[in-house]
Structure 1
Amino acid sequence: MTLTLTGCGSSTGSGDVTLKLIAADYGDSKSNGSQHYWDELARAFEKKNPGIKVDVDVYSWTDVDKKVEDLVEAGKAPDLAQIGAYADYAAKGRLYSADKLLNVTTQADFTPSLAEAGEYKRVQYGMPFGASTRRLFYNKKLFAQAGIASPPRTWDDIAHDAQLLKARGVKMPFALPLGPEETQAETMQWMLSGGGGYTDSIGKYTIDSPENVKTFNWLKEKLVGKGLTGTDPAKLNRKDAFQGFADGEVGMLNGHPTLMKQAAAKGVDYGTVELPGTNGKAKATMGVADWMMAFKQGGHRVQAGKFLDFVYSDKNVEKFSGDYGLLPVTTSASQAMQADDKYTKLHGFLEQLPNAEFYPANKTSWPLISKTVKAKMGAAVGPRGNPSGVLTDIQNTAAMADNTGE
């Protein structure tokens, strides 16, 4: 029987259904791209569920969110999408809630902090898929050459160690990627380590809080202004900072688990510690999760739910996390990984996940604020930068977006 594939899934008179999934690519080369993972998973699922086919298209992170947006706008929403944001679709009533899709055991197994981050107006629509936390990475060889005996615990330690590294000729003592690629992440890490954040405990934007202003003034004066970042942060992207660390040209930087594999492949002897704060370790680290969601348009709630229960089985969650250097999004898979010595270097990241703080992805205004942060924060710490002014501008944009959006 031939099935016609359409953007919103298809079904035939016999009851056979084809689910359409659009997913993001986590691979760093064609050989380990996510298409391989999904194709293998889909075939295994189809063997157990003969009436359901799964058709998966994988796109780069540069394109995937826009691809889904275009399909939805054209009235051809996929049945499932694994992308970066869910709130706007939830707000417009386009998504099934998680409890309408997953069996109770599957939904209850999500790490609580991740499940909560997937809620829009207290209902879970975003199902976490792939997570990470952040730690400070340091190059042990460069530290030893500079006479630094232990990794930094406070901001003063960072500035002191960066000076020693600079004196030894290290190209980038502290890499500060505030270029357009992932500025919103580096910004949030520094906000948290300074006792601030994008929002307060009730979800109201606090971008220009005294804590955040103090943090970015410190970066401007104590790191960038003293030449300890080695390059203009506004022009440094995360990808290039990670590559610099793998090439042995960076003394320290904030990073996520993917950097471990990259550094190890180049033979870099590195260590990681919790993010330093003003007077000790930071109050929290940043957590990042990407999201799986199911669109209502195709009407395949039952079939999509069956597939998602399969996707989130322990074996499959562990495989995906292991293949791509990410943290499992379920409690049971996290416990299995913590008990496995093979993942020792991931344990520090994993232990931080339950208390990590996430982007305010449950706010429909967040994509605009993220875009604004990317455009403005790099220049804020430059020679002519004005951290207070820039943070106030972004706060005003956020307040206006909230007033007209949610």
Structure 2
Amino acid sequence: MIEQLRKDFPLLQTHIDEQPLCYFDSAATTQKPQCVIDAVNKFYRQDNANVHRGAHTLSAAATTQYESVRNKLAQFLNVSQREIVWTKGATESLNLIAYGLSEKLNQNDVILISPLEHHANIVPWQQVAHRTGAKLELLPVSKQGILDLEASKTLISAKKPKILSICHASNALGNIHDIAALIQVAKQFDTITVIDGAQSLLHLRPDLSAMGCDFFVFSAHKALGPTGLGGLFGRYELLNSMPVYQTGGEMIERVSFSGTTFREAPGKFEPGTPNISGVIGFGAALDYLDAIDANTLAHHEASLYHYLVNALKKIDGISIWGDTERNIGVVSFTYKNEHHFDIATFLNTYGVAVRSGHHCTQPLMDHLSLQGTVRISLAFYNSYQDVDILIDALKNTIDMLEE
């Protein structure tokens, strides 16, 4: 089945420096199936028009397609479509939420995040804390880079934070956090919970109603969709209680020189012409995922991940960071004192695409006393043959580095 699915992704059939491409950077962005590419192309060839603004046939067709994807995503996440806001991506979503919630913060209120967060889930809260006088504090993480769940629950109970914002899965290490357990404790203190789902949307397909979070953010391009699109789920009463983030056309109810009134959510957060083609392309990605058994893909990813980890552990000098038991399929490793960039550069000559660096998690790397790591991030379209090629290339790379 996986070999058949791989044929749906055009870029996986290409070569790099005459070597077959082995793509291991899906945590940065996933490859796109042909149906997504075709949906974007079809929109511009056959349906191109602005949405919500015209009575003509093309505009009506574009609007129907556009809003149908909002409903499709709501069903995918098990929430109401009026709780889905389109943005440019998880980064903009987190900034929107942080800005909107800042009005609910007072001096000495606590915002809790973890050392495992992407910069996009650190810097907005730093800015909010600076403006409001709130305190930004950290959940406990081990020296290996694993969240201490029991100590985190105890800290939430002790601090009674106003906001808890944490990634569902780490982009740098792949750790899956027990979000439901943290939310359950946080609810006792009316803590507003914000979940960065950029890495979990594709791999874990979360049921947000069951999870019980107040906000959840995502990026479409990390779940087979186009770049430049993402969004957020927000509990409707919370969304409507927040101030507008940006202003312009489309999100207004009425404008006059004496004042302006705004639409209710989600419209109040969607000014200007949206990324229509991106939304429609993402709709095709959701259809593609819905047509495949989620358990089959999850089983393949888990099996492939353990195959990779076991192969790496056989190479003397490799150190793997993070939680290898609960993981979305990301391996972050170092090799002795060799620089991560050198390893990634040599691997590229074999057609193996990996990520090197701090992965937009500099505080985490500081916590681990690392300059950076080599990151291998899997998706269901990776194969065992891909992993075998990677391991052979890595062994050859190590031989060259040690000559």
TM-score range, shorter chain: under 0.3
Tell me the TM-score normalized by structure 1.
0.26
